[in-house]
Structure 1
Amino acid sequence: MPDQTKPATDRPVKHPPDLPGCTKKLGPPIVEIESVVKKFGDFTAVDGVSLDIFEGEFLCLLGGSGCGKTTLLRMMAGFEQPTSGRLLIDGKDMAGVPPYERPVNMMFQSYALFPHMTVEQNIAFGLRQDGMPRAARAKRVAEMLALVELERFALRKPHQLSGGQRQRVALARALAKHPRVLLLDEPLSALDKKLRERTQLDLVNIQERTGITFVVVTHDQEEAMTMADRVAIMDQGWIVQIDAPQAMYEYPNTRFVAEFFGDVNMFEGVLEEDEPDHVRIRSDELPVPIFVGHGISGREGATVWAALRPEKLTLSSEPPNQPHNWAEGVVKDIVYLGSTSTYIVELTSGKRVRSTIANHARDVEWTITWEDRVFVSWTARSPVVVTS
């Protein structure tokens, strides 16, 4: 007779990822998404996504419009139900569980504050709906006001606040019920650039202080890099790569990821030599081979792409003393961005590349300027080779 105490299916133990440079201690999976599909008629918005989100994690779902990231977030919140697959929160299958019974809260892009209520009334709304006693409710509201540094604005109404202050009210209201998971849909899109940058750090600090798992949907790669422990890039309804921001930037696994996540120069070529300690690629876009200081276990003769970030390209008026990893061209444009300058160089093959150089000195000396003939070069450690 079978053991009646044993679960019907043995679930493997899942360990938090080892994230480079992250000192945060993550717990076991709090959200488990298993082969989830979501269709709207004939359109597949989410296509077989599997993803574990760990307790205490700050995860960003990143992608362009229509990639499925908001649909996935809405399924976690309970506003949409999967067509197939399973979604578990705290080990419980959420099939048929309405939003108000899930241990999550969602902060909407529009903030959705009640215009006739004060700041403290907006924050207290969900607590009042749950029947929390008045004294406990007042204490929780005071804690949330202090957390988002809005104590002085408690009696103001939303129209009397700046965009950043309204954003913090919405955040305080979402956190007031102490959800296990906080879902944020494009939370910073309505803010100006400087306020957005400051609020990104505020969100990170608040997440670390509360220990609540944050899942943020964004289309802004810099926002994802600033805030996230891990970034999941979505395209056409599925996750193409999930990794720590640094690993995602330095080691993209496809051309799509390399081009979407930061600026990149992409050279198409043929894999001529692949040894354990190096790779040699011939590209019609360059006068010499591309040499990479490690093997990739590829098929010789296959078409591959070498991805080079602009900051890894060196500019010089003199030809480099190396048999590979360089090209000659003409400076066609210079973009001055304060801390950096980006040089657009047209190579003799006609391909245009970008080289970004830090402006260390206050007085910029334009040693290289428009229409100058220059050489671009890079080290063997700089390229990342992708096969698709």
Structure 2
Amino acid sequence: MSQQARSLQDQVARTEKGEASDLLKPLIQIEGVTKSFGDFVAVNNVSLTIYQGELFSLLGGSGCGKTTLLRMLAGFETPTSGRILIDGQDMTRVPPYERPVNMMFQSYALFPHMTVEQNVAFGLKQDGLPRDQVRQRVAEMLDLVELGHLGRRKPHELSGGQRQRVALARALAKRPKVLLLDEPLGALDKKLRERTQLELVNIQENLGITFVVVTHDQEEAMTMSTRVAIMNQGRILQVDTPHAMYEYPNTRFVAEFFGSVNIFEGPLLEDEPGHVVIGCPDLSVPIYVGHGISSREGATVYAAVRPEKIALSKEPPADATYNTATGVVEDIVYLGGESTYLVRLDSGRLVRVDLQNQTRSSEPELTWHDRVHVSWEHSNVVVVTS
């Protein structure tokens, strides 16, 4: 993440808490929006604020409502109830062509019979801009996406990544206040997608335009976003920075959807202001967490531990009172920079552990069928109650 994006994150966080002296002005305000199709509720009473200059991601699985919400921002769908404000103006019933937004579709929707330059110029000509202004704006946009030398080509003569950048240039040419992107990188291969993520961030920061991105790819959301909203069944479950979302999920669903995680379920045995103790039938000892939580003794809670925060060793930990278990390495997945170990605990529970491959070795220290100990620090546990 760039220094500029981190600064914006900090300012947004202070604004949300009311702590900033120079409060950011909300650019998009979604107020109690619901969208129903017959008996099916696609978006359910969603309220959300997005600030000027953010690269904001709507993240969720298929059918969660994220694309429907994006289409309502664009004006292609009308809310059943609630309001949508953009830059202080109520846009709930305003048609798409009168909104200060533009949308980049997953399919790119380029005109196959037009050149790159003509595709980028299309919206500007529709708006009646003078020819010299159209020519200048098209040149600026193609330079921005590094395609100035390909202006005479047609879409079928371009690679997937180049077509994606033409679609982006066309969407940006009209200088919208908000650019909506629906799965913008879904058609690209992994390496190109990773490179294009950073290019999109750089373009967004250079222009200062607010981006709202719909994606199902958690890595994409983590790489690009100032903030992320996770949706499920039409509702927003959590809105936060990628770091806070990963380290401090507020529900079991968020913990499991945003990254890999081991979830241990059990009753709350001790509930003190400075710590809690959780019983877990999958472990031979209780789970100790070094902070209090909002629950009551006896309630069922969920302790979430990320795979990379678990230690794996043939030797038992120095303190085996809490947060440890024994098992057998059942499977190993080598991923180059790291390896994933699947450990079958004595209880039968499968635990995932991710370890960095920090040294070159022809023979790994741990291998299949080794008997091992898993353990973790109390500070690496997040407890959720639902």
The TM-score normalised by the length of structure 1 is 0.94
Structure 1: give runs of 5+ residues left out of the alignment: 1-14, 20-24
SS at match of 1:381: helix
Alignment partner, residue 73 of structure 2: 76
Alignment partner, residue 151 of structure 1: 148
Q: Aligned letter for 2:155?
A: P
Q: Structure 1 residues 156, 261: closer, same or farther in 2, change over 3 A?
A: same
Alignment partner, residue 8 of structure 1: none
TM-superposed CA distance for 1:26, in Å, is 8.7
Alignment partner, residue 355 of structure 2: 357
Distance in 2 (CA, whole Å) between partners of 1:384 and 1:315 is 19
Q: Aligned letter for 2:186?
A: S
C-alpha contact 1:71 1:80 (8 A) present in aligned 2: yes
C-alpha contact 1:26 1:55 (8 A) present in aligned 2: no
Q: Structure 1 residues 320, 292: closer, same or farther in 2, change over 3 A?
A: same
Q: Deviations over 1:196-232 (max 9, x none)?
A: 0000000100000000000000000000000000000
Distance in 2 (CA, whole Å) between partners of 1:34 and 1:95 is 10
Distance in 2 (CA, whole Å) between partners of 1:130 and 1:28 is 28
Q: Aligned letter for 1:200?
A: Q
Query: What are the residue-to-residue correspondences of 1:95-174 with 2, within 5 Å?
Result: 95-174=92-171
Q: Deviations over 1:276-303 (max 9, x none)?
A: 2111111111001101111113201100
User: Which of 244, 251, 267 does residue 247 from structure 1 map onto?
Assistant: 244
Within the alignment, does 1:182 sit opposite 2:179 as a pair? yes
Distance in 2 (CA, whole Å) between partners of 1:252 and 1:294 is 15
Within the alignment, does 1:45 sit opposite 2:38 as a pair? no
Distance in 2 (CA, whole Å) between partners of 1:293 and 1:193 is 39
Distance in 1 (CA, whole Å) between partners of 2:12 and 2:188 is 33
CA RMSD, Structure 1 to Structure 2 (Å): 1.4
Alignment partner, residue 380 of structure 2: 382
Q: Aligned letter for 1:316?
A: S
Alignment partner, residue 277 of structure 2: 280
Alignment partner, residue 9 of structure 1: none
TM-superposed CA distance for 1:351, in Å, is 0.3
Distance in 1 (CA, whole Å) between partners of 2:37 and 2:348 is 44
User: Which of 62, 86, 99 does residue 83 from structure 2 map onto?
Assistant: 86
Distance in 1 (CA, whole Å) between partners of 2:341 and 2:302 is 22
Q: Deviations over 1:115-137 (max 9, x none)?
A: 01111110000000000001111
SS at match of 2:156: helix
Within the alignment, does 1:227 sit opposite 2:224 as a pair? yes
User: Which of 230, 234, 254 does residue 237 from structure 1 map onto?
Assistant: 234
Distance in 1 (CA, whole Å) between partners of 2:14 and 2:334 is 38
Q: Structure 1 residues 301, 220: closer, same or farther in 2, change over 3 A?
A: same
Alignment partner, residue 303 of structure 1: 300
Identity %: 71
Which deviates the most, 67-76 or 88-97?
A: 88-97
Distance in 1 (CA, whole Å) between partners of 2:97 and 2:363 is 61
Q: Aligned letter for 2:380?
A: S
Q: Structure 1 residues 345, 226: closer, same or farther in 2, change over 3 A?
A: same
Which deviates the most, 85-94 or 362-371?
A: 362-371
Distance in 1 (CA, whole Å) between partners of 2:61 and 2:198 is 23
User: Which of 11, 16, 28 does residue 12 from structure 2 map onto?
Assistant: 16
Distance in 2 (CA, whole Å) between partners of 1:320 and 1:132 is 71
TM-superposed CA distance for 1:361, in Å, is 1.4
Distance in 2 (CA, whole Å) between partners of 1:214 and 1:384 is 31
Within the alignment, does 1:270 sit opposite 2:267 as a pair? yes
SS at match of 1:349: coil
Q: Aligned letter for 1:384?
A: V
C-alpha contact 1:26 1:57 (8 A) present in aligned 2: no
Return the structure number with greater helix share: 2
Show structure 1 runs of 4+ deviating over 4 A: none
The TM-score normalised by the length of structure 2 is 0.94
Distance in 2 (CA, whole Å) between partners of 1:344 and 1:16 is 39
Query: What are the residue-to-residue correspondences of 1:27-38 with 2, within 5 Å?
Result: 27-38=24-35
C-alpha contact 1:26 1:56 (8 A) present in aligned 2: no
Alignment partner, residue 369 of structure 2: 371
